[in-house]
Chains A and B, each alone.
Chain A
Amino acid sequence: MLSAKNVLTRAVRLTNSSRLSSTLVIAEHDDAKLAPITLNAITAANKLGNEVSVLVTGANASKVAEQVSKVNGVKRVLVAQDEKLKNNLPERVAPVVLASQKQFNFTAITAGASAFGRSVIPRCAAKLNSSPISDVTEVHSADTFTRTMYAGNAVTKVKSSALVKFLTFRGTAFEPAKDGGSGAVENAPAADDVKTELSEFLGQELSKSERPDLATAKIVVSGGRGLKSGENFKIIYELADKLGAGVGASRAAVDAGYVPNDMQVGQTGKIVAPELYIAVGISGAIQHLAGMKDSKVIVAINKDPDAPIFQVADFGLKADLFKAVPEMTAALP
């Protein structure tokens, strides 16, 4: 009788755990606010067809967890708040993810394809002998995805047979999840092997800007080598401010030292897909196109009519940017 009861309890527990089996999204945040790319990742995660849980780690995770619990499509929020998790170093976040996996047996573990997601997801995947899939742009089913290769010049549809799918989602390919949810907040299972001696966060320099975030701005104005100096970039800023736009740059402009590298748009920088992208003094190398060619409307301003950027531009203006850009700024309300 006793053993029968045990079997029954076990069966109930098994049903429970399979009911709870779901997709995990690892949240990215700065201790105060959820990173917008996590909202895109939540939308993508919901397309996998499972319940979505979100893991919030960090020294100040509780406040962000409250925000996350109100996001539509989030059923559960796991919070791991610990001084050790300050700045969310991948070496320290990974054990928390793996402890959560051990308890909840997720079928997919995902994040936005930012520097953070790309650092954490493969590190965790390796421990479970799973081949991750990076920068997914479309979810066809729980195991079939689209992503790009060769700097966006080939689109590939892949099927994963990994027992646990480890995925990063391209933010610009999915709408951000909206508010309206009421997820349950609970503590994440404790990870006992968070090693603090391996790596240490010393500090960071962020380019401070009042302008909208490049990756999520509705309008982006980008400058290239044609600007000729960092000083001259001010005409780009002036136009951007009139438009309420984010400011980007080509790799050439970054390498020439005109602007800091976190402004770079391209295969090796940020991938953007705004409503309107204005490329100024940018020739349109493959590398750059990979980062912006999914923009809804592309405007190119360049004095070279053969610049490749004109082949993707909806509106091309062959003009001297030093005349055309201030003229535009002046003409806008």
Chain B
Amino acid sequence: MRILVGVKRVVDYAVKIRVKPDKTGVVTEGVQHSMNPFDEIALEEAVKLKEKKLAKEVVAFSLGGPKSAEVLRTALAKGADKAIHVQVSDADAAKVEPLHVAQALQKIVEKEKFDAVFVGKQAIDDDASQTGPLLAGLLEWPQALYASKVEDGGSGYLKVKLPAVLSADLRLNEPRYATLPNIMKAKKKPLQNVPIKDLGVDLAPQTTTLEVADPPVRKAGGFVEDVPTLIAKLKEKGLVKA
């Protein structure tokens, strides 16, 4: 079995994001980026299947600007055999929709005959949670979403026939760290560059962002002295019975 794993470069999960003053998006320049945490889990699962000799080859895939190569090197250091970078300009990258990513994945899968595609259940930047089921729809493959356990290609209590698309939930596994020797080795592994136009994917946007704003701020109400005061306050508001 050959597995394609979709990985995305996103603003690191620990970063407190800032909305741009002109409301066009969030600040990404000079901000720590890393591999989307759910994709790390998807990758780990694929590498584990390879270690169990259930998969023959694990190929990492990323669609994005030039810096997406960084997450692909990370994927190689964590055990992927090779990587495919579908290249778009940084300007286009900001407008790429999950549908476009799914279409690019579809083209690669059909060209290179993969048996399974693993993706994270969602990217922590757009929170769309669409790429897995979009791809499964395009390929007309079964989908096992939010997988928390994988046994020989079946997931949890759902049995899907290969080829299939799987999306990884947090609890699927604990991703490994890339060790220094593996990071060095990863530099020698093949990383193939594919300009998006070679795949014939139309990046025409269907969704335009009109405005990005901060969520309404909640004001802290302060501390209450003790339990009786707390209960009294809640009774006052009619939230608990008097």
Contact = CB atoms under 8 A, between A and B. Distances in A.
B68 to A, nearest CB: 19
Nearest to B220: A311
Contacts of A82: none
A151 to B, nearest CB: 7
B143 A91 contact: yes
Given A126-B135, A313-B220, A331 B228 contact: yes
Contacts of A286: 16
Q: Which bracket fits the contact residues of B? A: 35 or more
B170 A119 contact: no
A3 interface: no
Contacts of A254: 171
Interface in A278-295: 286-287, 293
Given A129-B99, A161-B206, A200-B158, A150 B233 contact: no
Contact of B141 (A157, A159, A198): A198
Contact of A157 (B127, B158, B210): B210
Interface string A117-140: 011111111110111111100000
B160 interface: yes
Interface stretch (A24-32, A73-81, A224-232, A314-322): A314-322
A251 interface: yes
Given A126-B138, A315-B233, A90 B133 contact: yes
A202 B223 contact: no
B218 A119 contact: no
A121 B103 CA distance: 16
Interface residues of A, number: 80
B171 A255 contact: yes
Contact of B145 (A119, A129, A160, A310): A119
A134 B129 contact: yes
A9 B125 CA distance: 51
Contact of B234 (A125, A149, A299, A319): A299
A101 to B, nearest CB: 13
Contacts of B13: 287
Chief secondary structure at chain A's binding surface: mixed
A153 B227 contact: no
B169 interface: yes
Contact of B17 (A131, A150, A197): A150
Interface of A: 89-91, 94, 115, 118-127, 129-135, 144, 148-162, 197-205, 219, 243, 251, 254-255, 261, 267-268, 275-276, 286-287, 293, 297-299, 305, 310-319, 324, 327-328, 331-333
Interface of B: 11, 13, 16-17, 19, 26, 97-99, 102, 121-122, 124-138, 141-146, 148, 154, 157-161, 164, 169-171, 205-215, 218, 220-224, 226-228, 230-231, 233-234, 237, 239-242
Given A198-B160, A316-B223, 6 more contacts: A119-B143, A120-B133, A131-B98, A155-B214, A254-B171, A315-B224
